[in-house]
Structure 1
Amino acid sequence: MSYTTLDEYQRKWIFTHQSMPVPESDWPFIKPMTQARAAQFWKENISAQSPDAERMSSQNWPMKDSNWQESVDWMKAWEADDNALPEAVADFIDWQDDVTVYFCYEKYNVIETKWSIFKKYWKNFLFYDDGPILLGRRRPESLWFSTKGTVRLGRRS
């Protein structure tokens, strides 16, 4: 099995937080990978050596400045009452709602979902904002969130 249930997920609280709980009807669409599957995905798509964003080497594609176009603020939109993604992010990522996306917190913690679910609950995903990277299946565009409240918009190589 490649996934655990949201009930079994160690960070379930980010989706059940009282300030913005995700309705249980959407839980099946938020699919945390098992640690083994997450590690494989991370190794193949982020870094074969580094376990998290803080320890990546210059050999890893996210560390190459040429892969990033710009950085924009996400924190203001996160703190706003509106649930919309930051405008620059929404303009940059022009994916259909059914595109599979991977929100990669670190080597053993990756969540698979659909772009529509991520857009709807992006604030929940960013309760834990320690350098996660969002990738789309067979899409070059990527997002790299920082704890400083910015997100880098880029294309992975």
Structure 2
Amino acid sequence: MYQPLERFSKQWIFKRNDPKVEQEDLERIHLLSEQRASQIWLSYISDEQIHPDHFTDRDWLKKTNSQLEITKVQWERTWDSDKEALPEDVLAHFSTWGEDTLVFFCCHNELVFELPWGVFKRAWKAFLFLDNGPVLVGKKKKQAAQFHSNGWVNLLLRES
């Protein structure tokens, strides 16, 4: 189900001093095996596309009914600042999630991380070194977000 984080070619993002990921948080970040990552991707993200670059209008992330009134939020300014917390609009979007809500940070069909929401909130700056369209979803939750390399995040609602 899991593979060692050391297998991840960009594991350095979690070992930096800025942004710092505390050891107890690092221990709760799990890199899924490629097989398990593929299952999560199929269940939560897309059953047709294997990478965010290839999403089409048939994927729920591109459908207009999955967009909220506040569709896009700028994340990069906060990332570049001394502020440690996610942008307020992002936190508000996920406000019903508990600290232990299991989340998946999905980069593509073979690269998915599993961790508690509270850990993601503290380590989000490290994760956003991987900003080429990853999707954050919560287990059995409707809220989702897709982060883009242009510094914006789309706040989304998954279909049931």
- Whole-Å Cα distance in 2 between the matches of residues 6 and 25 of structure 1? 14
Q: How many Å apart are 1:14 and its aligned residue?
A: 1.2
Q: Hey, what does 2:35 align to over in structure 1?
A: 36
Letter in 1 for 2:33: T
Q: TM-score when scaled to structure 2?
A: 0.93
- In structure 1, the partner of 2:47 is 48
Partner of 1:117: 119
Of the three residues 126, 129, 132, the one matched with 1:127 is 129
C-alpha separation in 2, matches of 1:85 and 1:25: 20
Secondary structure class of the residue paired with 1:20: coil
Contact 1:6–1:27 (8 Å) recurs in 2: no
Residues 1-40 of structure 1: pairs in structure 2 closer than 5 A = 2-40=1-39
Cα root mean square deviation, aligned: 1.1
Per-residue deviation, residues 99-151 of structure 1 (Å, max 9, x unmatched) = 00000011110000000000001000001100010000111000111111011
Deviation track 1:59-82 (CA, whole Å, cap 9, x = no partner) reads 111111220111110001101101
- Gaps (5+ residues) in structure 1? none
**Partner of residue 140, structure 2:** 138
Q: Which of structure 1's runs of 4+ aligned residues deviate more than 4 A?
A: none
Partner in structure 2 of residue 67 of structure 1: 66
Query: Counterpart in 2 of 1:86?
Result: 87
Quote how far apart the aligned CAs of 1:18 are. Answer: 3.7
- 1:147 maps to 149
Residues 20 and 123 of structure 2 are in contact (CA less than 8 Å); yes or no, is this contact kept in structure 1?
no
Helix, strand or coil for the counterpart of 1:29? coil
User: Distance in 2 between the 1:20 and 1:60 partners?
Assistant: 33
Partner SS, residue 10 of structure 2: coil
Task: Compare 4-13 and 125-134 and name the one that shifted more.
Answer: 4-13
Specify every segment of 5 or more residues in structure 2 that has no aligned partner in the other structure, as ranges.
Answer: none
Deviation at 1:5, TM superposition (A): 2.1
AA aligned to 1:5 is P
Do 1:100 and 1:136's aligned partners in 2 also have CA atoms closer than 8 Å?
yes
How many Å apart are 1:19 and its aligned residue?
A: 2.4
